Amino acid sequence: MKCDEIKELMLDAAMSGEGVPGMNEHLLDCPACAGKLQEMRKTMALLDEWQAPEPSPYFDTRLAARMREERAKPERKSWFSWVRMPVLARPADAR
């Protein structure tokens, strides 16, 4: 296997903790790929340990209220909104 092929398989190998057939031979001969796989496994281990923080009290209530406020705001037109005007959008040769 070549380094490019190994890179495609590294995430699967890092997540499962197992090698992919043909990959182990390449890793024995290629310290660069072996190092990248080791780094990826360390990263996956750190992600496994990570705990999402608890949201603050009433987060859902405040978020829903903010979303309602944003939806209720009038739509702001950009300086480029004139392009969507039907009169200006018609073909030039139409008479």
Torsion of CA 12, 15, 16, 20, to 10 degrees: 30
Q: Where are the domains of the chain?
A: 3-49
* Residue bearing tokens 């997540």: 15
d(CA 52, CA 61): 19
Answer with the residue of higher pLDDT: 75 or 93. Answer: 75
- The per-residue pLDDT for range 35-76, each reduced to its tens digit, is 988 898 898 889 999 899 999 999 999 999 999 999 998 877
Model confidence pTM above 0.95: no
Closest CA to 42 of 11, 20, 14, 6: 14
- Region 21-33 average pLDDT: 86
Please tell me the distance from the alpha carbon of residue 68 to that of residue 60, in angstroms, as a whole number. 12
